[in-house]
Amino acid sequence: MKKGNYVISLILVIIAAVFFFLANDFPANIIENVPGPNFFPQVIAIGIIILVVIMVYENYHSTDNTPVLDFGSPELHRSIRTLIVTIAYSTLLNIIGFLIMTPVCLFCLMMIMDKSKKTKKMAAAIITTLIIYVSFEVVLSVPLPQMIQL
């Protein structure tokens, strides 16, 4: 197992432990015999720790010497572009608004996956945004982020 895998495993265990203990600060459960609001985050944290232990065990007994990250791989570049688009979307959503940012984000994400059929992708992004907008704003009366008025 590469040193990088040990580092990633340690980071994941630390993050899971932090989330596990932060979930203890959630409000107490009002209803008896029903899991409280801290139940699900703690189950996920325990699941992550179990999966990390399995990963460390399997990698320790593995003879595979493939690199941890191949910085030239197209999959890594695609993942980084996806992360950048997602961060930009979540940062600009409350400034630019849902109706503008969502179709742009969806279109960009679809283009990252495959560069063909741009017109169909733009139509899919707009239709998806409108369906979400109508579902939340009109049917459920849940407000979505609006553009900041200057």
pLDDT in tens, 109-129: 999 998 888 999 999 999 999
Q: Which residues, given as ranges, of the chain have pLDDT below 50?
A: none
Distance of CA 148 to the CA centre of its chain: 25
Question: Could you say which DSSP state residue 116 is in?
Answer: S
pLDDT of residue 17: 94
The predicted model scores a pTM of: 0.62
What per-residue confidence (pLDDT) applies to 44?
94
pLDDT at 70: 65
Cα torsion 149, 83, 42, 22: sign: negative
Three-class HEC string of 59-71: HHCCCCCCCCCCC
Roughly what angle, to the nearest 10 degrees, separates helices 3-22 and 39-60?
Answer: 160
- Report the pLDDT value the prediction gives residue 2, as an integer from 0 to 100: 67
Q: What is the pLDDT of residue 9?
A: 87
Q: Give the start-to-end residue ranges of the domains of the chain.
A: 3-60, 74-139
Predicted local confidence at residue 73, as pLDDT: 78
pLDDT at 142: 87
Gap between the Cα atoms of 98 and 7, Å rounded: 38
